Amino acid sequence: MARIRCDFFSETLGLSTSMTVLLPERAATQIGMSGSTRTGDPPVLYLLHGLSDDDTTWLRRTSVERYVAPLGLAVVMPQVARSLYADQEYGSQYWTFLSQELPKVCHSFFRLSRRRADTFVAGLSMGGYGALKWALQQPGRFAAAASLSGALDLASRHRHPQRPLDPATWHAAFGDRTVRGTDDDLLTLLDRATSVPTRSRPDTGNTDGAGHGAGAASGAGAEAGRGAGAGSVAGAGSDGDRADGDGGLPALWIGCGTGDFLYDDNVRFADALQRAGVPATVDFSSGGHDWEYWDRAIRDVLAWLPLAPTTD
């Protein structure tokens, strides 16, 4: 694959920032590595980092480049610092940067598919929260969204009795305002998404059954409900550069290690999905909040994505 460290100026942030990008490359004679491409613009996965990481950490601590190479899939890994994927009260507008500016910048720099069926988002920890926040606020952009050990009940992390988020990071992002019940609360976004009737949830193209697509369970996980009710979040289609789609919720993958301090948060979110009748693949298996688990889980996510076959 081609690996690109892209430094560019963000109008939203008002500063120079970075993203690391993997682009598909056909490699027939490379020893120990294969590479595939596709006819037309490649699908793209936006892969989001955690609280203590940057745009390079996924590549440095997992083998994601090797896992992606045969898939003909582009991967965009942006830098968002310790922003909590928020438009910060005392900082920068990282949520606007991610959800509005970044896709436009990527499409201006690189040849990437604009089709909803070819657009995915995933992340770990803080990035898992960011991935689902993006998918729930702009469901028409993504065919699938995955959270690995996500901070899925972020509001509970403020003054949490065992593992609170550090006060400086919280205050920079949210100041003194309440997160519960706002656009920064995934449970609120889910409630809004499932309370507005829309057309039926779109087919993501994955029909091969067990372990793939919404509704399948794996490992020690359980199916998080199935049925009608997938809807759109108010205002989610306002970005004119979004991928095409009808506003139904994307396929969802929720994974967390049973030894992770965020495990209970993930169970609560999976239960909320089930109560709302939203199909999801839920995988609660052995593991902690660490790269051993995430290196394993990202392979499961890549196998689950509803990707069309490559041309190689």
Residue type, 91: G
Residue type, 107: H
Give me the pLDDT at residue 229, please. Answer: 32
* Statement: residue 218 has pLDDT above 50: no
Q: Is 101 inside a domain boundary?
A: yes
DSSP assignment of 255-283? EEETTSTTHHHHHHHHHHHHHHT---EEE
Q: Is 80 inside a domain boundary?
A: yes
Q: Determine how many CB atoms are found less than 10 A away from the CB of residue 167.
A: 10
Give me the pLDDT at residue 246, please. Answer: 53
312 pLDDT band, cuts 50/70/90, is low
| pTM for this entry | 0.84
Give me the pLDDT at residue 161, please. Answer: 59
Give me the pLDDT at residue 150, please. Answer: 98
Total domain count, the chain: 1
pLDDT tens readout for residues 117-172: 999 999 999 999 999 999 999 999 999 999 999 999 998 887 775 677 889 999 99
For residues 274-301, average pLDDT: 98
Instruction: Give residues with Cβ within 8 angstroms of 181, minimum separation 6.
Output: 188
* Statement: residue 113 has pLDDT above 90: yes
pLDDT tens readout for residues 12-63: 999 999 999 999 988 777 777 777 777 889 999 999 999 999 999 999 999 9
* Statement: residue 81 has pLDDT above 70: yes
For residues 72-97, average pLDDT: 98
Task: Copy the structure tokens of residue 163.
Answer: 């593992």
For residues 304-311, average pLDDT: 88
Q: Is 276 inside a domain boundary?
A: yes
Q: Is 291 inside a domain boundary?
A: yes
Structural domain boundaries enclosing 80 = 2-304
Give me the pLDDT at residue 38, please. Answer: 75
25: domain CATH number is: 3.40.50.1820
Give me the pLDDT at residue 263, please. Answer: 97
Q: Is 309 inside a domain boundary?
A: no
Nearest to 182 by CA among 275, 50, 46, 87: 87
Give me the pLDDT at residue 309, please. Answer: 82
pLDDT tens readout for residues 222-271: 444 333 333 333 333 333 344 444 558 999 999 999 999 999 999 999 99
180 pLDDT band, cuts 50/70/90, is very high
Our measurement of the distance from residue 152's CA atom to the centroid of its chain's CA atoms, rounded to an integer in Å, reads: 12
79, 17 contact by CB (below 8 A): yes
- The neighbouring-strand residues paired with 7 are 18
Q: Is 172 inside a domain boundary?
A: yes
255, 148 contact by CB (below 8 A): yes
Residue 58 φ/ψ, nearest 5 degrees: -55, -40
Give me the pLDDT at residue 311, please. Answer: 67
* Statement: residue 92 has pLDDT above 60: yes
Least reliable range by pLDDT among 10-19, 38-47, 175-184, 198-207 = 198-207
Q: Is 311 inside a domain boundary?
A: no
Q: Is 191 inside a domain boundary?
A: yes
Give me the pLDDT at residue 230, please. Answer: 32
HEC assignment per residue over 164-185:
CCCHHHHHHHHCCCCCCCCCCC
DSSP assignment of the chain? -EEEEEEEEETTTTEEEEEEEEE---BSS-TT--B---SSSPPEEEEE--TT--TTHHHHHS-HHHHHGGGT-EEEEE--TT-TTSB-TTS-BHHHIIIIIHHHHHHHHS-----GGGEEEEEETHHHHHHHHHHHH-TTT-SEEEEES--TTGGGGTT-SSSPPPHHHHHHHHTTS--TTSTT-HHHHHHHHHHS--SPPPP-S--S-TTSSTT---TT------SS-----TTTT--TTSPP--SPPPEEEEEEETTSTTHHHHHHHHHHHHHHT---EEEEES--SSHHHHHHHHHHHHHHS-PPPP--
194 pLDDT band, cuts 50/70/90, is very high
